[in-house]
Chains A and B, each alone.
Chain A
Amino acid sequence: MTPAYTFAHWLTQTYIGREMQGNAYLFPTVEALHIMGSAALVGSTSILSLRLAGLFLTDVPVSKVAKQFLPWAWLGFAFQVITGTLLFMSEATQAYDNVIFQVKMALIVLAGINALVFQQTVYRRVATWDASNPPFGAKFAGYASIVVWFAVIAAGRWLNSSVANAPMPPPPV
């Protein structure tokens, strides 16, 4: 058994993992909360991204939009990590080696890298372009963020049909 499988199996056997599987109302409730969280997270990141792309709130400085919407993005992200982890714990052994799950996680990492690179490069000089047309780097980061976050949602929807109905796979040797 691989360490990843052992860990995934352990997660499903924890109190929370068992509760998530055993209580018929818990999984759909947490899933509903996870969808609500997507509105908070992707809604607020998209507002900032549209501003970076120069398509929305163009008369508000980028730094101001960031200051006002990033706290909501982080709040939404924390909420998604918590609800997403709960969902994962209930079906960890089926999800961990599922390609769509891995693609979703890779996309989230990509969204993080995109934000980090933007923050460490173009955004450092934000004072020089704050109120004007954003430079190419900012526009690119904005468009990329929108595409990646909506792809995360699509992967999540796809994951639901590929994992929820999947039979229990045998443990890898």
Chain B
Amino acid sequence: MHTLYSLCYWLGNTPLGSAIHNSTWMFPVIETVHLFGVVVLVGSASVLDLRLMGVAFKDYTVSRLAARFLPWIWAGFAVQVITGGLLFASEATKMYGSGVFRVKMLMIAAAGINALVFHFLAYRSVGTWERDPVAPLSVRLAGVISVLLWFGIVGAGRWIAYS
């Protein structure tokens, strides 16, 4: 059997995975917390993205806004990884075969790469452009890509439930 499939099979049969799978209330409750996490993660990421795009919050410098909102982004991300991991564990073999789930994971990876590239390239020189009325193209692009990816991830998440 494929290693990844074996891993999913194992995960689905752990006490935690099967407990969530067999419970009538655990899945919807965890899913609700996952929806709360959307607000925290995508809400705070969008604030920063809108600033990078130059659409809103222009009287805060980018570094100041990043310092305030990054802790919330990370906290939201942690909630999403934990609740998402639990939801996945309860139906891991089903998710293994889901195309939408793979697309969602790829988009999360892409959002991470986008943030990393921004952090190590454009953000290094943040002091030179953060007061400009219009940020450099690479900065605005990072913001647009991030917003599109995160909302795409939310959309894909909703779609998983139907697939």
| Residues of chain A having any CB pair with chain B under 8 Å | 28, 31-32, 35-36, 38-40, 42-44, 46-47, 56-57, 68, 72, 150, 153-154, 156-158, 161
Instruction: Report the Cα distance A39→B152, complex, angstroms.
Output: 13
B10 contacts the other chain (Cβ, under 8 Å)? no
Q: List 28 A-B contacts (CB under 8 A).
A: A28-B158, A28-B162, A32-B155, A32-B159, A35-B158, A38-B35, A39-B38, A39-B151, A43-B43, A43-B46, A44-B43, A46-B39, A46-B40, A46-B43, A56-B68, A57-B68, A68-B56, A150-B39, A153-B32, A153-B35, A153-B39, A154-B35, A154-B36, A157-B31, A157-B35, A158-B28, A158-B32, A161-B28
Looking at chain B's contact residues, the main secondary structure is helix
Which residues of chain A have C-beta atoms less than 8 A from B154's C-beta?
32, 35-36, 39
User: Can you add 5 more A-B contacts, CB < 8 Å, to A38-B38, A39-B38, A40-B46?
Assistant: A36-B154, A36-B155, A39-B151, A46-B39, A46-B43
Instruction: Report the Cα distance A42→B43, complex, angstroms.
Output: 8
Q: Is the CB of B43 within 8 A of A40?
A: yes
Q: Is the CB of A39 within 8 A of B68?
A: no
Most buried by B among A35, A153, A154: A35
Instruction: Report the Cα distance A161→B154, complex, angstroms.
Output: 19
